[in-house]
Amino acid sequence: MKHKFTWTAASALAGLTLVGTLAGTGSAVAAPTGADAALASCVTSTRNWGGNIQNQYGCTEYGLPNGEQQVFGVGTDGAIWTRWSRTNGTLSSWTSMGGQGRSTVYAGGRGWAITLQVRGTDGNWYYNNRGGTPSGGWSGWHR
């Protein structure tokens, strides 16, 4: 399922530019341009996730098989951060996934198996893979 994204920023919103579309249950991601490429709360079509995500990169939402949603974004420290909804409607805390990103965090996959892709500070693309089960762990960032 694809989701439409909106952004909340401290200043007035500028135009949005489409920067990527993912297959499967990934999301289309829009990023603000100009003066609004600062910090924003992560807001998607399903909810306001809060947090301080670098607005120039936005956040990406991924739909899990049990109906939960998980979002990914680059935080103020440049690290990749994630948060997810639980089946009872509550949200997890924001959790750092480490690494340093300088792009939108792209998420794609099938079911529980998720692959994240982000451009690192050295200009190379890095990947982090989640195992294909509900308790599947992450591989860690690799090229």
pLDDT band for position 88 (50/70/90)?
very high
Question: Is residue 21 scored above 80 in pLDDT?
Answer: no
Range of lowest pLDDT (16-20, 97-101, 136-140): 16-20
Could you tell me the pLDDT band of residue 2, with boundaries at 50, 70 and 90? Answer: very low
40 against 89, higher pLDDT: 89
Only one residue has tokens 């909810």, namely 47
Is residue 54 over pLDDT 50? Answer: yes
The structural domains of the chain, with segments of one domain joined by +, span 8-109
The yes-or-no verdict on residue 17 having pLDDT over 70 is no
User: Shortest CA distance to 95 belongs to which of 68, 62, 73, 118?
Assistant: 73
Quick: pLDDT tens for 25-44. Answer: 444 344 434 434 456 889 88
Q: Which carries the bigger pLDDT value, residue 9 or residue 105?
A: 105
Quote the CA–CA distance of 53 and 49 in Å, as a whole number.
10
Give CA angle at 100 (112, 55), nearest 5°: 85
